[in-house]
């Protein structure tokens, strides 16, 4: 779990994690330099939790990359990634594990929970993208596990195969926020099985009901820059998928502008994002995270191995 200045929500989420009918074997919390006494509260309430306190805010992207490196170094087989404002229902983890066991084909690289808002509606911010070119055999195999085939998901609640993370690489920490989960999960799922498990339910307790593109203000910069970075890479998406998702992105940007009350800020963020996306590329995650925390040597090595694997995948798909 990655957190930043949401102490009370984090404690509620941790209580739900520890109350799972099949509890996780270990829990890691990455604190992105919170200033609301989050770390002290976690230590007092949950002393068994492994708490990683970072020196500055690395965003969700850096936090999940850091935490995943720790989990891989600990020898995890599966890693459950979750936001700090996500409250899983008691059988959320058990349902994903059962879906993984009952899938008749090769083990899924990723299983995503069904995400609801506080009033029970499906949360539009966290809808996994269905796999656009899934064949009948893949759909039937997913149905046998009570699931649906997907092409991407968010970090709100996903169970990922640690071996595939080592082969495909950690999240891109330089994304900071926005599209970091889209890039990571599409990279992980290219050529692999991804499932949406409706029986695994979590509640995402955002302040408002809506998607991330609802008048994002200056944060629109990250959406634009990171999406360009992603489309520049040939790893996460195939050629047909790049065309499909580029069209979807342009349509969503148009809707964002149409509904915004501050289009001047959006235009400025769009220009900055395009310039940064075209002129730069994301730095290696190991470099981004250097000096932000005390990664043990084994975790640093696992992170480096994962990043080397990601570059190898890039060369292979290129």
pLDDT tens-digit readout, 1-33? 999 999 999 999 999 999 999 999 999 999 999
Residue 147 burial (10 A CB sphere; 0-12, 13-18, 19+): buried
H/E stretch holding 70 reads helix 59-73
Percent of the chain with pLDDT over 70: 90
User: How do residues 258-282 score in pLDDT, each as one tens digit?
Assistant: 888 889 999 999 999 999 999 999 9
Q: pLDDT under 70 in the chain at which residues?
A: 210-214, 293-318
Predicted confidence at residue 206, as pLDDT, reads 87
Whether 28 contacts 50, CB under 8 Å = yes
Give the integer Cα–Cα distance in Å for 193 and 54. 33
Predicted confidence at residue 214, as pLDDT, reads 65
What does the mean pLDDT of the chain come to?
Answer: 89
Predicted confidence at residue 296, as pLDDT, reads 47
Tokens of 207: 């302040």
Predicted confidence at residue 29, as pLDDT, reads 97
Nearest C-alpha neighbor of 312 from the set 183, 168, 189: 168
Give the integer Cα–Cα distance in Å for 208 and 108. 32
Predicted confidence at residue 114, as pLDDT, reads 96
Tokens of 262: 């501050």
Predicted confidence at residue 307, as pLDDT, reads 52
């Amino acid at each position: 779990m990655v957190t930043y200045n949401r102490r009370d929500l984090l404690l509620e989420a941790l209580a739900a994690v520890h109350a799972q009918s099949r509890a996780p074997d270990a829990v890691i919390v990455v604190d992105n330099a919170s200033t609301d006494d989050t770390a002290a509260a976690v230590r007092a309430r949950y002393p068994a939790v492994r708490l990683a306190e970072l020196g500055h805010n690395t965003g969700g992207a850096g936090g999940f990359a850091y935490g995943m490196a720790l989990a891989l170094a600990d020898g995890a087989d599966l890693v459950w990634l979750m936001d700090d404002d996500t409250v899983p229902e008691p059988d959320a983890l058990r349902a994903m594990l059962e879906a993984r066991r009952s899938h008749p084909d090769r083990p899924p690289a990723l299983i995503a929970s069904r995400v609801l808002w506080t009033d029970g509606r499906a949360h539009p911010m966290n809808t996994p993208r269905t796999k656009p070119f899934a064949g009948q055999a893949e759909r039937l195999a997913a149905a046998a596990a009570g699931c649906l085939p997907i092409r991407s998901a968010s970090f709100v609640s996903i169970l990922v195969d640690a071996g595939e993370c080592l082969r495909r690489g950690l999240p891109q920490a330089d994304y900071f926020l926005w599209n970091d989960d889209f890039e990571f999960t599409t990279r992980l799922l290219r050529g692999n099985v991804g499932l949406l498990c409706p029986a695994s339910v979590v509640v995402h307790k955002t302040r408002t009901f809506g998607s991330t593109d609802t008048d994002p203000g200056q944060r629109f910069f990250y959406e634009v820059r990171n999406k360009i970075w992603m489309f520049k890479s040939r790893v996460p998406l195939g050629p047909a998928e790049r065309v499909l998702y580029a069209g979807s992105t342009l349509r969503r940007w148009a809707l964002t502008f149409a509904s915004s009350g501050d289009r001047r800020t959006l235009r400025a963020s769009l220009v900055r994002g395009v310039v940064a996306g075209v002129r730069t590329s994301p730095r290696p995650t190991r470099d981004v995270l250097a000096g932000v925390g005390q990664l043990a040597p084994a975790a640093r090595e696992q992170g480096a191995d994962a990043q080397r694997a990601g570059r190898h995948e890039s060369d292979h798909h290129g």
